[in-house]
Structure 1
Amino acid sequence: MTGGDAAGRGLTGNGSTGEERLRRLLGSEETAWLVERARQRLERGRPLTGTVTLGTASAAQRRAAELLLGRRAGTGTSLSVSLEEVDRVLRTSGAAPGGLHEAVVRLRGPLRDLAGEREASASAWRAAFGNLDAATAARPELTGWRAWLESTGLVRRLVPDPAQARHLLDQLAGVVARLPSPGLPIGRLAAQIAGDAHALDEGRPLGTLALSAAKALTGRAYPGEGGADARRAAWAAVGVHLDDLSSLVLCLGLPGDDRTPTGRMLAAARAAGEPCVLTLRQLRRHDGPLPSAGLVRICENPVVVAAAADELGPSCPPLVCGGGRPSAAVWRLLDLLSEGGGRFVYHGDFDWGGVAIAAAVHDRYGFEPWRFDTAAYEAAASQTVASQAGLTERPCPTPWDPALAEAMARRAVRVEEELVLPVLLSDLSSGLNDRGTR
């Protein structure tokens, strides 16, 4: 007779019920670790086979194991127990005819299906992201951002429940579908998408996620820099303004008049040969188109405006700076100039971000390239030092000159606007013809 058989005989001959016998064998505090190990295996879908070990066992835990098994449980600090042996003891003693599996359920209650729970949770989260994934599927510039959301677990930290997260992510999909959206106040966007004018405020879950999407659309780091100025700039880059005073546009040499406050500001700045900064508030309040400016030069970087003011002063022809991604104020000024009969020529950085900005301007107004075509790129790229950074972003089409995108993809050389500043100033000094070339 084995020790386990002797233990079972001793515990079945005293009139105890099966429940009492089970409690005596496995229901004590000293055997709780063993039951817990068995429960964990069952809930993870693993068989009750092999040995489990308690690293540091007390004398009481060792005596409980010996009572259960009907034999000495070894020496030393650790305690190892065979799950098959426990199962056999429980069956033969009558404490749990169904073995260890039955004993665990009786002692700890129904088992969880952890694998099933994980699959159900994964399915719920896939459904939660469904509309957002559909909104980003055709927008390759958001592919990295979507993967970042998944890898960082940001959504799950903001809203742990997938049902609640689905509502939030559906709203986020609505915001993404509207970006970029030139000239839209953030409160109006929030109200239209979420029914709450403050849903995109700083610190709100939708505001946090939507801001990261805005950064992704403009090539910024998704966590990015903090602070009110960085947040304002990120939103402005996709055409959403936080208020009418924070959205600005820089210009030089635009004609003014005596009819409106904005017209008088432009006239005074032109006469002085100084750059002028206009707010969205001023441009929104301006009544009617601006005085006809004829051919208007558009550049991407403020350094061009500063250099033109230094060298040309009052003689500089009309020049508007997009400042990277055009803000709501930039779009509004260009609208007013276009309504007044203005025509545009454009120059920007020869990189894919600069091309994307130019494409947005071209799509809205059309323009002639100002040394922003294939010939100008080939010439500038040939003079660029080898250490100049290459083109690493995703290529973009150049509808004003389709061959330009092909040349940039082939040469993969980045040419910033500052590197061709002398020739741009020469153009401004001597004038441009209608096609934006000298």
Structure 2
Amino acid sequence: MTDDPLLDAGAYFRKKTGLHRFLSGLIDKYRSLGRLGGRVALSDLSPEEAAALSGLLRADYRSGQEASIRADEFAIALAETRFAALDPVAVLGAFAGEALISKKEAKRRRARAWNDLVDRCRSEFPTANCVTWLEALAERRPGTATFERTFHADPGFADELRLVLRALANLPDRYLRLPLFSAGISGDPHAFDLQTSAGTHLLAALETLHRQRVDRGAAAPLPARSETSETEYQSLLLGRFFLVRDDIANFFSCSGLLAYRDDRSEPLPMWRHADADAAVLNVPLRELLRIDRLEPARPGPVFVVENSGIFAALLDGQGEVGPALMCLHGQFKLSGWMALEKLIEHGAELHYSGDFDPEGLLMAQRLIQRFPERIHLWRYTVTDYHASQPQVALTAQRLAKLEKVVHPQLLPLKEAVAKAKCAGYQEALLSFFLEDLGFSIK
């Protein structure tokens, strides 16, 4: 016994285990209806439940039977006990260990708590990126629901939200490795590792910001997740905000390009010597981060292929020196995008050729969308498709990817591939590539 009758009532009913299923049913009814009403249905009563209900409700309940009990019967029964002065709903709350509120009210309170947090963060983080993202959170736009759910489940989420906002407020304007960025924001170089919750939340925030940039026409879209690996998608997304993950394994290959640092008029020695020796460079992202300019060694376009076998064959056909060549090695990596950006920034024209399959068309589309004024398709027409002697049958799953090819420049090729249902590959066009470049055919 205590001096608080409500505490005593809660303790009393918690000891009555035979009533627990009934009382829990009453609580569920209250939360659903917002009032004490309806009926509680109980099946297969245990002997203990039958005895406890019979004693409380002054009715005959039998073990193994079912019971359907009106909610107001509890209030009537409570009036016959030493707890008669207490509100039945308050007693149920004491039993549950918390004040009862309806699901509707609980939802309203959760929404208000979330909105209050977002409003406080708006005043704390007034920078453009933060305001844009917080508006998306407040309006519960697509891709933001996970934040509100996490907030309600994790009391420490508010601090993590502020950590992500500090990151958004201080995004770099030059490429920076993610661990260095993390250390600058939080003191912990692993704070935004992508397997951590903060890293996951940062990615989601960046995805929301990037989606809005695309909607405004201020950025080209990223590839769909189905078109690339999740790791590569994450790297590309981070790269749009000048954040870099893996800077060694992420590379492209090239010949006939020169790189410059700062305002120096002379190319960097490694690049100069490689060009003089007609050598191939495999350039990791790490090296790209150290240069400011990338240009063809000689006047003319840069010829870009995605197939390393074709790249090697073109190199075999050239003499001591030739036009600038690049190989992106399949699906585009951040290193490839960054190299293309640096070339275009300094006036280079790019001629691109890929395979005649749904994946190849989607890659070409991404390039055209990203650099619409500077990308020229090379040997990538319906005529070239037929010349590639397409024979590899495409599955229905791969053919379905053609629906995503929407750029007018690629529609005739899309229709040809869809009609033939076969893929064509660059290897069959090698003699044409060599002829276009003025190389010998061996």
The TM-score range, normalised by the shorter chain, is 0.5 to 0.7
Q: What's the offset of the Cα at 1:85? A: 3.5
Distance 2:401 2:55 in 1: 70
Distance 1:99 1:194 in 2: 51
Could you tell me which of 381, 401, 404 is aligned with 1:392? 401
Q: Structure 2 matches for 1:143-154, cutoff 5 A?
A: 150=145
Q: Deviations over 1:12-55 (max 9, x none)?
A: xxxxxx99997999675245413333233223326433344264
- Aligned 8 A contact 1:300 1:417 in 2: no
Q: Structure 2 matches for 1:123-162, cutoff 5 A?
A: 131-132=132-133, 150=145
- Aligned 8 A contact 2:37 2:72 in 1: yes
Q: Structure 2 matches for 1:87-166, cutoff 5 A?
A: 87-91=75-79, 95-96=83-84, 100-101=88-89, 103-104=91-92, 110-122=99-111, 131-132=132-133, 150=145, 163-164=158-159, 166=161
Q: Does 1:277 align with 2:282?
A: yes
- Aligned 8 A contact 1:124 1:162 in 2: no
Could you tell me which of 364, 372, 377 is aligned with 1:369? 377
- Aligned 8 A contact 1:254 1:318 in 2: yes
Please name the residue that 2:311 is paired with. 305
Distance 2:240 2:26 in 1: 57
Distance 1:429 1:27 in 2: 86
Distance 1:416 1:267 in 2: 42
Please name the residue that 1:13 is paired with. none
- Aligned 8 A contact 2:223 2:233 in 1: no
Q: Structure 2 matches for 1:395-406, cutoff 5 A?
A: 395=404, 398=407, 403-406=408-411
Of 245-254 and 19-28, deviating more is 19-28
TM (norm. structure 2) is 0.63
The amino acid across from 1:431 in the alignment is D
Distance 2:282 2:274 in 1: 10
Could you tell me which of 175, 196, 199 is aligned with 1:204? 196
Q: Structure 2 matches for 1:228-247, cutoff 5 A?
A: 240-242=243-245, 245-247=248-250
Q: Does 1:42 align with 2:50?
A: no
Distance 1:351 1:342 in 2: 23
Please name the residue that 1:252 is paired with. 255
- Aligned pair count reads 388
Could you tell me which of 414, 417, 428 is aligned with 1:422? 428
Q: What's the offset of the Cα at 1:283? A: 5.0
Structure 1, unpaired ranges of 5+: 1-17, 137-142, 434-438
Residues 383 and 171 of structure 1: CA distance in aligned 2, closer, same or farther (over 3 Å): farther
Please name the residue that 2:370 is paired with. 360
- Aligned 8 A contact 2:303 2:324 in 1: yes
User: Which has more radius of gyration?
Assistant: 1
Q: Does 1:69 align with 2:61?
A: no
Distance 1:232 1:77 in 2: 62
Secondary structure of the residue aligned to 2:332 is coil
Q: Deviations over 1:224-260 (max 9, x none)?
A: 567xx99768856987433654442201355899971
Give the aligned CA root-mean-square deviation in angstroms: 5.4
- Aligned 8 A contact 1:391 1:412 in 2: no
The amino acid across from 2:436 in the alignment is G
Residues 92 and 302 of structure 1: CA distance in aligned 2, closer, same or farther (over 3 Å): same
The amino acid across from 1:278 in the alignment is V
Q: Structure 2 matches for 1:45-60, cutoff 5 A?
A: 45=33, 47-53=36-42, 55-59=44-48
Residues 76 and 249 of structure 1: CA distance in aligned 2, closer, same or farther (over 3 Å): closer
Of 231-240 and 320-329, deviating more is 231-240
Q: What's the offset of the Cα at 1:90? A: 3.5
Q: Deviations over 1:312-343 (max 9, x none)?
A: 5757643112343253466347736974x754
- Aligned 8 A contact 1:182 1:327 in 2: no
TM (norm. structure 1) is 0.63
Residues 313 and 277 of structure 1: CA distance in aligned 2, closer, same or farther (over 3 Å): farther
- Aligned 8 A contact 1:351 1:391 in 2: no
Please name the residue that 1:296 is paired with. 302
Q: Deviations over 1:81-121 (max 9, x none)?
A: 55444433344678526774465357666323333112332
- Aligned 8 A contact 2:256 2:321 in 1: yes
Q: Deviations over 1:340-390 (max 9, x none)?
A: x75432223542343113432445xx14331245x5577579956663632
Q: Does 1:263 align with 2:272?
A: yes
The amino acid across from 1:38 in the alignment is L
Of 102-111 and 123-132, deviating more is 123-132
Q: Does 1:220 align with 2:233?
A: no
Residues 163 and 286 of structure 1: CA distance in aligned 2, closer, same or farther (over 3 Å): closer
Distance 1:80 1:195 in 2: 61
Residues 78 and 125 of structure 1: CA distance in aligned 2, closer, same or farther (over 3 Å): same
Secondary structure of the residue aligned to 2:38 is coil
The amino acid across from 1:204 in the alignment is T
Q: Structure 2 matches for 1:167-182, cutoff 5 A?
A: 167=162, 170=165
Of 343-352 and 278-287, deviating more is 278-287
- Aligned 8 A contact 1:356 1:396 in 2: no
